[in-house]
Amino acid sequence: MDEILEILEKDARATPEDIAKMLKKKAQSVKEAIRKFEKEGVILKYKAVINRELVRENDTHVRALIEVNVMPQKDVGFDKVAERIYSFPEVSSCYLISGTYDLLLIVEGKDLHTVSRFVAEKLSPLENVRGTTTHFLLKKYKEDNVILKHREENKRIAISY
């Protein structure tokens, strides 16, 4: 992979000037390369990794991994089925995988019931969906190569007898 892309993947806030210094290149050539990557669709989005556990809100955001077994369609394989599924706003990521299941979805909702309703009312009834398995994420330790710190729990004094 291109060195500029590697740097931006690790730190999207790196400026073209910072990248130019790291790579001993001219800032203008780095800016042009970044513009080209954006125009060609190589760079799709710049992202911040948020540790939701440390955000002090009553946000009951729930995330689930859903394995989906589908029947591929003639002449288009899994692509059309995947396109139909990833079009739902609840689906934040969709991957074709090997193994027992065909697709792996990351689904987000405000609570467990929202995700459950999505599976029961939207996903499972689709014509080419043969089965699903849902795994609710309970705690994140690492995301996008970033180790997430957790809130300090109430520290109780250990009682021994």
| pLDDT reported for residue 1 | 87
Q: Are strands 91-96 and 62-70 parallel, antiparallel or unpaired?
A: unpaired
Residues 57 and 121 in one domain: yes
**Exposure b/e, 82-99, CB count within 10 A at least 16 = b:** bebbeeeebbeebeeeee
Q: pTM of the entire structure?
A: 0.77
Q: Which domain holds residue 16?
A: 3-40
CA 113 to chain centre: 21
Residues 30 and 84 in one domain: no
Residues 81 and 57 in one domain: yes
Domains held by the chain: number: 2
| pLDDT reported for residue 150 | 73
**Exposure b/e, 113-145, CB count within 10 A at least 16 = b:** eebeebbeeebeeeebbeebebeeeeeeeeeee
| pLDDT reported for residue 60 | 67
Residues 32 and 57 in one domain: no
Cα gap 87→70, rounded to integer Å: 16
Residues 79 and 27 in one domain: no
The answer to whether residue 160 sits within a structural domain is no
| pLDDT reported for residue 139 | 87
Residues 33 and 66 in one domain: no
Residues 60 and 106 in one domain: yes
Residues 34 and 67 in one domain: no
Please report, for residues 38, 79, 80, 81, 92, the alpha-carbon distance to residue 75 in angstroms, rounded to integers and kept in the order given: 32, 10, 10, 12, 26
Per-residue pLDDT of the chain (161 residues; tens, 9 = 90+): 899 999 999 999 999 999 999 999 999 999 999 999 999 999 999 988 877 777 766 566 899 999 999 999 888 899 999 999 999 999 999 999 999 999 999 999 999 999 999 999 999 999 999 999 999 999 889 988 888 887 666 666 777 77
The answer to whether residue 158 sits within a structural domain is no
Residues 63 and 28 in one domain: no
The answer to whether residue 125 sits within a structural domain is yes
The answer to whether residue 61 sits within a structural domain is yes
